[in-house]
Structure 1
Amino acid sequence: MKIGEKIKNLRIKNSLTQEELANRCELTKGFISQIERDLTSPSIATLVDILEGLGTDLKDFFNETTEEKIVFSKEDAFEKVHEEQGNTINWIIPNAQKNAMEPILVELQPGGRTKEVAPHEGEEFGHVLSGTVLLHIGLNTHKVRKGESFYYKPGVGHYLSNPGKTSATVIWVSTPPIF
């Protein structure tokens, strides 16, 4: 494990300069620089002080985390068909409910619609990949065509419908996750 590199990454993540971190730990900027470049190793007591200045502790610092998955394939997706509503929802990022935002791929058959989503905090974004949809937000309706996007704060009930004669596909992202 490269302790210096890990300290540097934590310092940057906390938006601290070497000098600010050094001041928090009553060390010199030069010493922090040497530690970050793995030119010297801090004593355990000094490492504890540095980690306190970075808002962590020895246990969390040395706890190896698993690599977070970044790229997802079609096999990772979960699909749910709602025949009665004429839609298919694809959760394209597995377990997205634990994230800050949740993207889905919605396929609407002609005359199909999504269920109405209750008002909630956050924001929603969508991009129409094919077809045309109607975005219903409260009493307002907005026509969104292929290549167009929508973005709104969902303070009222909302849903998508497909008034066309061909299917429509939309990438729809919600924060916080609601789907």
Structure 2
Amino acid sequence: MNKIDLKRHAGDQPDPLEQANPMRLGTRLRLARQTRGLTLKALATAADCSESLLSKIENGKASPSLPMLHRLVEVLGTNIGWMFEETDSEEGIVFRAGTRPLISLDPLRRGEGISLERVIPYSPGHLLQCNIHHIEAGGESAGPIQHQGEEVGYVLAGAVELMVGERTFKLSVGDTFVFKSELPHWYRNTGTERASIFWVNTPATF
């Protein structure tokens, strides 16, 4: 259950290729590590994670947290988008309601209750990263995280608490935010119902 869970909205049949994505993530991570001549131990040390966990991730048996992914790609000189890179839909412009896949990281750890609905696919040529963050009641993002770029968000549903640097903001439906990604940031659902945030990052990192 601690693998990356890729699924479509209820009522849609899962795509077998999407179900294979956890293994693809591990394969790409191993490829990037070997291309740079790093041993498993060397990468684990540089990214501040355990060698055993990294081995499980490379074999598709475990999923990394978002902060860990950021550390790994920084050491490897790549970006998180490349780890999840996929081909655009046939049209490559319009992505219909009910067809956008959801991705959940760390279902058994601190990111519990968080799923990302992809608005822009992880594929070459996109300057923006855009997801709808769905946060179940009591859910919170793993963090804080920091990276290059800028963040913009719009609260679609629910009540959330956004922490940026040393400041905390209570947000509700219709509230928006913008901040530099270099500032430590994370969030949590403070309500009793599911919250959703339309979230854009630039440049694309995930």
Asked if residue 150 in structure 1 is aligned to residue 173 in structure 2, the reply is no
**Alpha-carbon distance between aligned partners in 2 of 1:144 and 1:118, rounded to the nearest angstrom:** 20
Number of paired residues? 113
- Distance of aligned partners of 1:121 and 1:144 in 2 relative to their CA distance in 1, 3 Å threshold: same
8 Å CA contact 2:155, 2:197 repeated in 1: yes
Unmatched runs of 5 consecutive residues or more in structure 1: 1-66
8 Å CA contact 2:145, 2:186 repeated in 1: no
1:136 aligns with: 163
**1:121: Cα distance to partner?**
2.0
1:32 aligns with: none
- Partner letter of residue 159 of structure 1? W
SS at match of 2:199: strand
2:205 aligns with: 178
**Alpha-carbon distance between aligned partners in 2 of 1:155 and 1:138, rounded to the nearest angstrom:** 9
SS at match of 2:94: coil
Q: Which one of 91, 99, 107 corresponds to residue 126 of structure 2?
A: 99
- Partner letter of residue 107 of structure 1? H
CA deviation profile, 1:118-141 (whole Å, cap 9, x unmatched): 322211000000111111112211
- Partner letter of residue 108 of structure 1? I
**Alpha-carbon distance between aligned partners in 1 of 2:145 and 2:168, rounded to the nearest angstrom:** 16
**1:161: Cα distance to partner?**
0.6
- Partner letter of residue 130 of structure 2? P
2:95 aligns with: 72
Moved over 6 A (4+): none
2:76 aligns with: none
Asked if residue 108 in structure 1 is aligned to residue 135 in structure 2, the reply is yes
- Distance of aligned partners of 1:150 and 1:137 in 2 relative to their CA distance in 1, 3 Å threshold: same
1:125 aligns with: 152
**Alpha-carbon distance between aligned partners in 2 of 1:139 and 1:165, rounded to the nearest angstrom:** 25
Greater radius of gyration (CA): 1
CA deviation profile, 1:48-90 (whole Å, cap 9, x unmatched): xxxxxxxxxxxxxxxxxxx972211135522123433111111
**Alpha-carbon distance between aligned partners in 2 of 1:87 and 1:81, rounded to the nearest angstrom:** 6
- Distance of aligned partners of 1:96 and 1:175 in 2 relative to their CA distance in 1, 3 Å threshold: farther
**1:172: Cα distance to partner?**
0.6
Q: Which one of 148, 166, 191 corresponds to residue 164 of structure 1?
A: 191
**Alpha-carbon distance between aligned partners in 1 of 2:184 and 2:92, rounded to the nearest angstrom:** 33
Unmatched runs of 5 consecutive residues or more in structure 2: 1-89
CA deviation profile, 1:81-101 (whole Å, cap 9, x unmatched): 343311111112212564111
Q: How does 1:11-90 map to 2 (within 5 A)?
A: 69-74=92-97, 76-82=99-105, 83-84=107-108, 85-90=112-117
Q: How much is the aligned-residue C-alpha RMSD, in angstroms? A: 2.1
